[in-house]
Every structure is written in structure tokens, then in C-alpha cells.
Structure 1
């Protein structure tokens, strides 16, 4: 199975590379055994990705995965039989790190992305794929869950690629269909989105332009009376800066939080 490298879906290879390479060197932040195994087994040349994203890029991917892991673990501590929906899953491996033996997990992504995923990661009875666009609301019916068991939506590095108007309509629909549910995702500032676009273009990918940004998360509450911001946290909060990292990496980690380039946003859909 091949994938069009001039597409948004191709960006699933970048965080996979980041989690595999950076987690081997920083297991105290995250150790992604499955990503390491996939990288070792798949015939993809990551030379250009490694050259473009470097050490800081890898660190940013394992920190994002760690924050999502922590959020999922906290949620399933309260809701051990919860349903988790991973929006724009790509080659994400979170399930293998957080599974408690009773959660139900769905990986939502475009059909060609899911086809590529399934050549590398096999579905299991509690870890299934939905091959549909986020904006094809028929996927709502594919998610089987009990309201009392809780439902959490996670999304990593995905919302950037959509227009605000598209996301506003989708989140309104999700809030209506999944009252009591929660959503955790990462967001960039407008300044950071501009930088990201230039970085991705350096890899030769012209089909993955980013649009959506969040400067003030409270604005999201104006989208619907059913949307509440639970929290907004700076990207590297709580992550110790290693003296082993390159000076440029240490500087970027501090700068990103100082000028609020990246953040994590946690929403709840009110009942």
C-alpha cells in the first residue's frame, strides 16, 4: 500500500517518526514501543523528515502523545468502560499504551489513511477503525457507546488543517449528539500556524496547508451554549527540560510556552 506524499494524510508519518525516535531517547517522557516497531518494519525513508523536524520536532511529538495519554488515563480512571474516539488517528498508537482492558476505542480517519494504517496496525475487538471524513456525520452512528460510561474525543495535530467555519459546525453537531462527552486537542496560535506551514512546505508537501488556530480558547464557548472550556494548558507544562537536549531544542521548548505558541484545549459538551 502506498500513500500520496503530497497529502494531509502523509503527515501521519511525521509524528510516527517523532514518537519512535524521540521516545527511545526520552523514555521518561514517553516510550512508544509500537511506534518503534512500526518504524523498524515499514519501508519508508524518513531521512528528509528527520532533517526537517530534528530533535525539537521529535520532542514535541512525544510531549503531545504524553499529554493525550495522561488525559485518557485520567478519564478512564473515572470511566473504566469509556468509549474513546481518536479523530484523525493516522498511525496513532495511544491505545497500546493506555488500554485498561475494558475501554472501547475508535480510530476515525479518511478511507485512504485508514487503509494505510491497517497495513501496519491491526484492528482488535476493542480498537476499531472508522474510514470516514470527520465531516461525514454518519460516523456518529458508527460509535457505539453507553452515555453513562462516558465518551472522550481526542485529536492530535488534526484541526489545524480545517477552516474555523468547518470546525464550528462540526463541534456544534458533536455537542448536540454526544452531551456529556469531552474533547481534548492541541492547537497553535496564529503565529505558530504560519511557521508550521513554512516548515511542512520544506518537506515538499504542498497539500497540507494549515488554517485553524486558537489564540484565546474561551472564544470556543461562543460557538455553542453546549460547549464549555474545561482547561487550556501550555504545551510543555510539567515536562522537565533535559540537559542532554541540544541548546536550540531547550530554547524552543521555553520560547513556545513563553509566547503561547502551542497549547492543549479540553472541552466538555454540556448536557
Structure 2
């Protein structure tokens, strides 16, 4: 294992989605074209081939499907806001910008300083792309975003908020909704039952990092936090954006049905009320 990674840390979990995306790309190249994952893992000298987690197709597809889902959210927002900024919260070693071949929109990657340092070593910033080292709970990072209300902004948070307490997420979302009117945020989440599964899944991958955040009813919960948080909706994680999942294996198909039925994994979409929609103060 590379010396930059220590077991049982959030940073170590960067390897988990990267390895999953590599496996998914090998089997379903046209669907999940993450051509950078294998190179990065090789440079990091990371090998998770003995992990029990990745013996299951559903487990490694989870990592790739998340990026696919976010690409759909970003694409739909950019249809109406072609000049919008895109901001990956907890970007880790995401290569989503490269997958989308997007060099026209301002793109921001935010993460802790040690993660950003690792990212800059293995994923050089492209045109219009900026890396920001910060603690998301310290809102001074707001000022590092060149936000133009007329252009808009789309935030995504992949595998991020599980590590936050619910009050931290609430405080962050309320502040973001106030600062970035007209923007959106999309992130993956689970319910309380699924949260237990997330912790077991990460443990199977060789990490004991603890997750905390879950939602039972995203719309009612999040919209109750602030009048500036609106149009909250959710889609199934595996089948909400993919048009066809029939090519996946039988066990994966069964798992998808079970997880949909039990409301274990989903993508949440929330909008920040635009300035013109806010009541006069």
C-alpha cells in the first residue's frame, strides 16, 4: 500500500471507489468510460484484488453508477445553464470531468489538503479546473468559488455526507442555499438500514472508517431545514438514471430490486431557491 494512505482513514476510502470504477470500466467500457482509474491505482501502488467486497458485481458497479448518475444531474442542469460552474464536494480522486470531456465550464474540486495534494499529484488540473484545499465545515471556501448567479452552479457530493453528522449537513446546506441562489446539489444517500450496510461494506474493503448520515424521507427532511431549500427529489441509485440495466448479472439484478424495495440507496437532488423567488426581507 502506498505510504500516502493509512488504513482506517477517510483518505484510505479513496481507493475503494477507484478500484470499483476500474473493474466496472473493464467489463462495461461503453457505459462507464473511466479510463484514468487503472492508471491512478497503478501509480498509487494500491491492490484491493483480495477484498471480498469486489467479488460481487453489484458492489463494484455501485462506484461507477454513482459517477454516471452525477453526470446525468450535471448534464441536465447545464442544458438550462450552459455557463454554470460545477463543484465536486469531497472530490477525492474523481475523474468525472475527464469522463465528461468538459473543459468549457468552470470546474472546482474541493477536499481536505492532504487529499488535494494527492489529487494534484495524480490528476493534473485541466482547462478551467481549480482544486481547492479546505474543510467543508469552514465556509470560507465559499469565497474561493467565482459564483455568477446569472450562470448558475451545480454541486455534487459523492460518498461524502455519510461521514457527516446530520446537523453538519443541515448547517452546510442552509449556508450554501443562502450563498448560491439558483444552484443545485446532488448527492448519494441511504436510510438508517442502509447506513449499517455502508459501514459493513467499507469494513469488507479493509477500512473501519465510520459513517453517520442517513435520510428516511429526503424531501420532507431537507425542505424543513430552510425555505431556501426547495424541489427536493430522489431517484433510485442503480436504476434511476440508467436506461437499461438488463446487461448486468442475475445476482446484481436481484440486489437492485431488494435495495430499491428497502429504500437503501438513492440520489438526492435539491435546489437552492433563486433570489427572485425569495421573499423580501
TM-score by length of 2: 0.90
The whole-number CA distance in structure 1 between the counterparts of 2:62 and 2:130 is 27
Query: In the alignment, what sits opposite 1:191?
Result: 193
Q: Give the match's secondary structure for 2:150.
A: helix
Q: Does 1:241 align with 2:264?
A: no
Q: 2:104 touches 2:127 (CA, 8 Å); kept in 1?
A: no
Task: Encode CA deviations 1:127-150: one digit per residue, 9 max, x unaligned.
Answer: 111111111111001111211111
Unaligned stretches of 5+ residues in structure 1:
none
Q: Which of 243, 253, 256 is the equivalent residue of 2:259?
A: 256
Equivalences for residues 11-160 of structure 1 within 5 A: 11-49=13-51, 51-54=52-55, 55-160=57-162
Q: In 1, distance between residues paired with 2:38 and 2:47? A: 14
Instruction: Please state whether the residue corresponding to 1:175 is helix, strand or coil.
Output: helix
The equivalent of 1:168 in structure 2 is 170
TM-score by length of 1: 0.93
- What secondary structure does 1:147 align onto? coil
Structure 2: state its 5+ residue gaps. 276-281
Aligned residue pairs: how many?
Answer: 268
The residue number in structure 2 matching 1:215 is 216
User: What is the root-mean-square deviation of aligned Cα atoms in Å?
Assistant: 1.7
Alpha carbons 2:222, 2:232 under 8 Å: kept: no
Q: CA deviation at 1:175?
A: 0.8
1:77, CA displacement in angstroms?
2.3
Any conservation in 1 of the 2:189–2:268 contact (CA below 8 Å)?
Answer: yes
Question: Does the 8 Å CA contact 2:103/2:127 hold for their aligned counterparts?
Answer: no
